[in-house]
Chains A and B, each alone.
Chain A
Amino acid sequence: MHSLHRRTYRLLLRLHPAAFRDEFAREMELDFEEALHTYGPTRLFLDAVGSLARQWSTSISFAPPNPVSPPRSSLLAGYYVTVRDSAFTPVELGLGLIASTSQLTLCLFALSAGSGHIPDLPTVYASSNAPSPMRDNTDPETPLPTDRSSSSEFKPSQNATANLGFAIARLAEIAQPKPELLLFHPSGPLPSYEVATIKPRDPDAASNLVKLPPGGFLSPLSIRRYIMNAYGAVYAPQIVGGPDWLNKDAYLINGKIPDDLQSALQKMTREGRNDQTRMMEQSLLADRFHLKAHFETRVLPVYALVAGNSGLKMTEVPVPPESKPGDPPMRPHPGDPLPPGTLVTIPNSNGLRILNGRAIKMQLLARVIGTDIGDRPIVDHTGFNGYFNVTDLTWAPLASAGATNDSDALSLTGALKEKLGLKIVPTKVPIEILIIDGIDRPTPN
């Protein structure tokens, strides 16, 4: 039910003027979550409706006349084209309110009549006993359907109010922006390690991340990084919340993969093996750390990789062959030719970073160079969907600014512009994040 409240409140927030929403919606949502128990949902919804009316009334009545209204990219993005300069009269506002309420009511009825099952509302994960994304169920007496098709037995007509509530939630779901950076969602039952040992290590090692696949062996590392890996997060802010020890404590985690799964892994593609490893890591987090978490989408600041003003300086290459089951893990040695579809960055003796890629997509390039920016990820907005080679893209990493032996070395932005004809610009996009609701220190081995 809390998830329904949350979604409804989020819908109300999305109806606010864009400027107000960008500035305060995130905080309002957090405050709503905290105040829900003490204030109650009705009071908070009424408060949000009041705020909605005040903000629109302010922005309509007191907006300065704008003789030339620049067209905006999208109405759905929350920007509006001004069609008149004078303020609306109360009668016009009243008519507008009646018209919009009627449309909303019709939408709700259409949605509720069209939905023959309960939509998957909350997305609560991280229990290996729950093989796939499942609904949050606090009542142990009420078993959850393990198969989504079984939810079709739900009779919406039995409870009109609930149905309307779900329709509102569906509308909230539709209003949810589609994330540009996604986390990894398990596609089936979570496989488990046969045996897993978790040993505490020197906390100084917590920031290290060295992965030695296959075999489920990870170097000492922080559990936040382990969660990032298990959920396919490309940068730290995608994992939100949790206690301090997630960043500070270091553990050596070693898992033995069951023999049958090990032989199955040999027949999978590289992507398939990675997915299985992530699922085993999620299973371990649920079993041994009692991780409880849910997914959300938030609009966050990022950098966008776009074509430079002077045009792209990269040449498109043919589509590389798809990886086949049984392909060896990608671990090219220095000097070896890169397999198609791969990209490596290595530091040179001058402290510079050198990137080479063969038949890679812009998304992969954006993701890899994003690790050098640190504070924000880079998303691909170039619009180029083909495959490209990158040869010896060299730059001075931010972390070693001033510490390189090459004073003429370009920064990353300079190298992208000079060598590839690309640039990075700040923007905001929807990103999928994982909110940690609860986690314990690991159970003994």
Chain B
Amino acid sequence: MKSNAQQYLPLSPATLHILLALTGGELHGYGIMLEAARHSGGQYKIGPGTLYDNLKKLLAAGLVEESQREDLETGERRKFQITTLGYDVLAAEVERLSGVLRHARRSIRLAERRS
């Protein structure tokens, strides 16, 4: 499964934030937008266009699935949830980013010592 997850890397910032937002449970579109803004401290806000561009890809790749259809009678919104493959991809991306961070910190430290 891990090698399967590698093919989706690296993730775009929007994809990363959407997957991260869905780790807390199923959400509708606006819920994802709010959650992405919340966990980025308000620095990264996704609009509906960006959101559904990415959700379309994530649904097609099987990283996200629809957990509830819209119900016009009850007013229930369409909801999405992350799949097992989605979790694997997110974990792989976090590991990749951790490696990037480690390398970046080391490079900065070396540069500081040289200067």
A positions within 8 Å CB-CB of B: 20, 23-24, 26-28, 30-32, 34-35, 39, 43-44, 46-52, 54-55, 236-237, 240-242, 300, 433
Contact = CB atoms under 8 A, between A and B. Distances in A.
20 contacts: A20-B52, A27-B28, A27-B48, A27-B77, A28-B48, A30-B29, A30-B30, A31-B29, A32-B48, A35-B47, A39-B45, A39-B47, A43-B45, A47-B50, A48-B47, A51-B48, A51-B49, A55-B53, A237-B73, A240-B72
Contacts of A24: 52, 55-56
B73 to A, nearest CB: 5
Contacts of A26: 70
Contacts of B70: 26-27
B54 to A, nearest CB: 10
A49 B53 CA distance: 12
Contacts of B30: 30-31, 34-35
Interface in B42-101: 45, 47-53, 55-56, 70, 72-73, 75, 77-78
B56 A20 contact: yes
Given A28-B51, A30-B30, 18 more contacts: A23-B56, A24-B55, A27-B77, A34-B30, A35-B33, A35-B47, A44-B48, A44-B49, A47-B48, A47-B50, A51-B47, A51-B49, A51-B50, A51-B52, A51-B53, A237-B73, A240-B72, A241-B75
The secondary structure that dominates the B interface is helix
B53 A54 contact: yes
Nearest to A44: B47
A73 to B, nearest CB: 24
Contacts of B29: 27-28, 30-31
Nearest to B49: A51
A50 B50 contact: yes
A54 B45 CA distance: 18
Nearest to A240: B72
A27 B80 CA distance: 12
A31 B49 CA distance: 10
Q: Which 10 A-B pairs have the closest CB atoms?
A: A51-B49, A47-B47, A237-B72, A31-B48, A24-B52, A28-B48, A47-B49, A31-B29, A34-B30, A31-B30
A139 to B, nearest CB: 29
A263 B29 CA distance: 54
Contact of B52 (A28, A49, A237): A28
Interface residues of B, number: 20
The secondary structure that dominates the A interface is helix
A243 to B, nearest CB: 9
B5 to A, nearest CB: 23
Contacts of B77: 27, 30
B79 to A, nearest CB: 10
Contact of B51 (A31, A240, A433): A31
A51 B54 CA distance: 10
Contacts of B75: 240-242
Nearest to B75: A241
Contact of B72 (A28, A43, A300): A300
Contact of B49 (A50, A240, A241): A50
A55 B54 CA distance: 11
A213 to B, nearest CB: 26
B88 to A, nearest CB: 25
A27 B49 contact: no
Contacts of B72: 237, 240, 300, 433
A20 B52 CA distance: 9
- Among the interface residues A23, A47, A240, which one has the most CB atoms of the partner chain B within 10 A? A47
A24 B73 CA distance: 19
A196 B47 CA distance: 47
A43 B47 contact: yes
A36 to B, nearest CB: 10
Contacts of A47: 47-50
A32 to B, nearest CB: 6
A435 to B, nearest CB: 10
Given A27-B29, A30-B77, A236-B73, A48 B53 contact: no
A67 B98 CA distance: 47
A407 B28 CA distance: 44
A26 B108 CA distance: 47
Nearest to A237: B72
Contacts of B47: 35, 39, 43-44, 46-48, 50-51
